Amino acid sequence: DGDLKFSLESVKKLKELMDENTGINPRMVISKTSYSPCKEKDLPEEFQAVCKREDAPMIFERLNMAVREADLCEICANAACSGCF
């Protein structure tokens, strides 16, 4: 995301956390853009610096969108994914 780089595994974990905490009850769905996983105990360590930024919710949402289709990322169809040969 911009000049920030994160491991694919950490971004997948972030997606799991965001998915778990934004759609629990359809009547009380929390917007992903207003939800911040920074208080989650399972948040990967590499996101701690992001939590200190004002734009953290937007960064987390963009990362979540980058791995929306995890299989596509695994085969490098998404330009946001790196490590492809």
**Res. 47 pLDDT band, cuts 50 70 90:** very high
Residues 6+ apart with CB under 8 A from 64: 11, 14, 15, 18, 32
The burial of 34, by beta-carbon neighbours within 10 Å (0-12 exposed, 13-18 middle, 19 or more buried), is given as exposed
Query: Is the pTM of the predicted complex or chain greater than 0.75?
Result: no
CA distance 12 to 27: 26
Q: Would you say residue 2 has pLDDT above 90?
A: no
When divided into structural domains, the chain yields a total of 1
Residue 80 inside a domain? The answer is no
CA distance 72 to 58: 22
The predicted pLDDT at position 66 comes to 79
The predicted pLDDT at position 45 comes to 93
User: Which SS3 state, helix, strand or coil, does residue 34 take?
Assistant: coil
Domain boundaries, position 54: 8-75
Q: What percent of the chain has pLDDT over 70?
A: 64
Residue 2 inside a domain? The answer is no
The predicted pLDDT at position 68 comes to 75
Q: Would you say residue 24 has pLDDT above 60?
A: no
**Res. 35 pLDDT band, cuts 50 70 90:** low
**Which helix (DSSP H) or strand (DSSP E) does residue 44 occupy?**
none
Residue 15 inside a domain? The answer is yes
